[in-house]
Amino acid sequence: MGALPEIVGRDPFDALVIRTDYGDEAAWREVVADLTRRWGEDDESAPAVHLVEDPVWADRTPEEVLCAVRRDEELCVVFLADRVTMRSADRLLLALDVFEEEDDLDPMYYRELIDSPPPREFRTVPAEVHVVHANLSIGNMGFEEFAETAFAAPDRVHRSS
């Protein structure tokens, strides 16, 4: 597999969703329909999403995707429409924290962080993509807060509260 292309033309306010599974066209259409619906209280917010649908991304791992998208300095989260997305009834997307982990933390001061690193991914329903992206983009919430709500749920999926 070759190098992944740079994502171009994404508005910083658009959530980035990359399709990595191409086995079910109908499932993908459902995901797109969910992502392009108005959202928020009383559906007052227009969807802002940048969809990447290019077979060059097929079967790429989360690590490969993260390496490619980290070129975008304004990106804080990327969502993958992977095999789990296409096979799950709720079309669960994989949310990935774009920020790189610190490898050179001083154990004297960061023992707890080294021993228990924050979560780097979680699953969410398409309807929550805009909420997650918007809150992370403005620094209103941290990635780990969304991951914690997902991990606390019986199905380990972030959904609206």
**Do residues 56 and 2 lie in contact, with contact meaning Cβ atoms separated by under 8 Å?**
yes
Question: At residue 153, what are phi and psi to the nearest 5 degrees?
Answer: -75, 150
Can you give the pLDDT at residue 160?
Answer: 83
- Residue 149 pLDDT: 94
19: Cβ contacts below 8 Å, ≥ 6 apart? 28, 51, 52, 53, 54, 57, 80, 81
Render each residue's pLDDT in the chain as its tens digit; 161 residues: 678 988 988 998 999 999 999 999 999 999 999 999 988 788 888 889 999 999 999 999 999 999 999 888 889 999 999 999 999 999 999 999 998 665 555 666 565 655 555 678 999 999 999 999 999 999 999 999 999 999 999 999 999 86
- How confident is the model at residue 101, as a pLDDT? 60
Structure tokens at 4: 């992944």
Is residue 65 within 8 Å of 57, Cβ to Cβ? Answer: yes
Contact 48, 137 (CB under 8 A): no
Predicted local distance difference test score (pLDDT) of residue 142 = 92
Task: Supply the pTM of this predicted model.
Answer: 0.88
